Amino acid sequence: MGDDARRVVLPAADWASAVAAELVARLSDRPALRICLPTGETPGPVYAALVAAACDGRVSFDRATLVMLDAWVGLPPGDPARCDVRLRAELVDRLPRPPAAFIAIDVDGPDPDAAADRHDAAAARLDLAILGLGPNGHVGFNEPGSRPDDPTRLVRLAASSREAAVARYGATRVPTAGITIGLRRLLGAEEAWLLVTGERKASILRRCLEDPVGPDRPASWLRRHPRLTVFADEGAASLLPRG
């Protein structure tokens, strides 16, 4: 196990449709997949391509279970930056037939630690974990310092993550914390995909894939996964070794 991830590098214009096509193929073979899904700028075009495929009858999510990867804590219901709001708006509520289940994270209840424990149970059996790469090497809200045995938990967010909620996603307030599926569950998924686009991610992607594995770049722990695929566009892969 380790350092033998499948790397798929695609032109930016083809990247989203190619990733969506691979997921369509997975669902065609296994309609009842349990899939962990992220939010953020990177997966948005993939979700648009999946909605188009579902509307055209090329795929259905009606037997699939969709599990949220992470969620901000401290944002009010309906806030545009909330991960459940974004995932519903970009994918779940646009599907012509709803998924068998959409498992969100309860960030509105009185006990976020209990909510994290419940979501850890929901993430105990994932067929496919789809993940993005943060600019500081985080995956989900597994910020620098995270370890491969970390469970789903309430976390203190890095300053860059808190600021992104407002600056990039339009949050009405700065979130206080986050809940994330931990690396233990992500590494335990049957298969993992890391989605990375843009030249601004080139340096951190190179460090995560080529430098020694360690907690300063939590996404580097994914190299321990026996079935990791990295889907990168040419900009994100521009600093990786050729071939």
**Annotated catalytic residue: which of 117, 136, 190, 216?**
136
* Annotated catalytic residue 138: yes
**Annotated catalytic residue: which of 79, 84, 143, 233?**
143
Backbone angles phi, psi at 170, to 5 degrees: 75, 25
* Annotated catalytic residue 199: no
How far is residue 123's CA from residue 153's CA, in Å, rounded to a whole number?
12
Strand partners of residue 228: 192
Report the side by side order of strands in the sheet with 191-196.
6-10, 228-233, 191-196, 128-132, 34-37, 65-68, 101-103
**Annotated catalytic residue: which of 119, 138, 225, 233?**
138
* Annotated catalytic residue 41: no
Question: Which tokens sit at 110?
Answer: 């009185």
* Annotated catalytic residue 143: yes
Q: What is the CB neighbour count within 10 angstroms for residue 235?
A: 19
Q: Where do runs of H (alpha helix) occur along the chain?
A: 12-29, 44-55, 83-90, 112-122, 159-167, 183-188, 202-210
Active site positions, annotated? 70, 136, 138, 143
